[in-house]
Amino acid sequence: MTPWLNTTPNPDFSIYNLPFGIFSTEELSPRAGIAIGDQIVDLCEMGQQGYFADLGFDSWVFEQKTLNRFIGLGKKTTNKVRIRVQEWLCDEASPLAKHPAGLVAQSDVQMHLPVRVGDYTDFYSSIEHATNVGMMFRDPENALLPNWKHIPVGYHGRASSIIPSGIPIHRPKGQLMPKGADKPVYKASGRLDFELEMAFIIGKENELGEPVSTSEAEDYIFGMVVFNDWSARDIQKWEYVPLGPFLGKNFASSASPWVVTMEALAPFRVQGPAQDPPVLPYLEYEGLHNYDIHLSVSIETEDGTDNVVSQSNYKYMYWNMLQQLAHHTVNGCNMRIGDMLASGTISGKDASAYGSMLEISWSGSKPITLADGSTRTFIEDNDTVIMKGHAEKDGMRVGFGEVRTKVLPAK
Residues 6 or more apart whose CB falls under 8 angstroms from that of 26 comprise: none
Give the helix ranges, DSSP H, for 159-309: 214-217, 233-239, 262-265
How far apart CA 71 and CA 54 sit, in angstroms, is 18
- What percentage of the chain's residues is helix, strand, coil (to nearest 5)? 25, 30, 50
Phi, psi of 104 (to 5 degrees): -130, 135
Are the C-beta atoms of 7 and 36 separated by less than 8 Å? yes
How far apart CA 260 and CA 257 sit, in angstroms, is 10
How far apart CA 378 and CA 237 sit, in angstroms, is 15
* Catalytic residue list: 129
How far apart CA 186 and CA 23 sit, in angstroms, is 39
Are the C-beta atoms of 386 and 298 separated by less than 8 Å? yes
* Strands annotated E in 113-195: 120-123, 154-156, 162-164, 169-170, 173-176, 185-188, 192-193
Are the C-beta atoms of 310 and 353 separated by less than 8 Å? yes
How far apart CA 143 and CA 179 sit, in angstroms, is 23
